[in-house]
Amino acid sequence: MTTRPKSFIYNTSLRWQRDVEGVLSAPGKPDIKVSSPPEFKGPEGNWTPENLYIAAIETCLMLTYLAYCRSRKVELASYTSAAEGVLEPISGVQIISKVTVRPKIVVKGQEHLAQAQEIASFVQEKCFISNSVESDVIVEPEISVAG
């Protein structure tokens, strides 16, 4: 007998405040002030749909990487990353065509380096957010040993 994969449901709500600003909410989480980015007449300082989209990809890649490290007992000293998304007109519509994520991963010992590199080579195909978007997702890891 095969078991069906579980399905999960996530909920958010959005409340308009003024102009192009609103408050994004989810049950049990702090609210996030959102708006259009300044280049689309929004105020400085708020999270934008563009930021959230890129952050979702970057976060999922990190969490997927950490899950595989945990299951393979790869010990990390640190993990940081930076991500960049390109919003551009294609066929008459604006799309985020490419998201590049640059993780900087430090493992605790030389014995973890090969496994850490292997996980980095397939993490993108295992990340369900990067699998769910049409943007090209590029992962450019930099992996080193602590010390």
Q: Looking at the predicted structure, is the pLDDT value of residue 77 above 90?
A: yes
* DSSP code per residue over 78-101: EEEEEEEEEEEEETTEEEEEEEEE
pLDDT at 98 over 80: yes
- Per residue in 38-66, pLDDT tens? 999 999 999 999 999 999 999 999 999 99
pLDDT confidence of residue 1: 64
DSSP strands (E only) in 51-141? 76-90, 93-107, 136-139
Residue from 94, 90, 99 nearest 124 by CA: 99
C-alpha 56/C-alpha 85 separation (Å) is 12
pLDDT 10s digits, 121-137: 999 999 999 999 999 99
The answer to whether 51 touches 83, Cβ cutoff 8 Å, is: no
Report residue 147's pLDDT band, with 50, 70 and 90 as the boundaries: confident
Q: Burial level of 42, CB count in 10 A (0-12/13-18/19+)?
A: middle
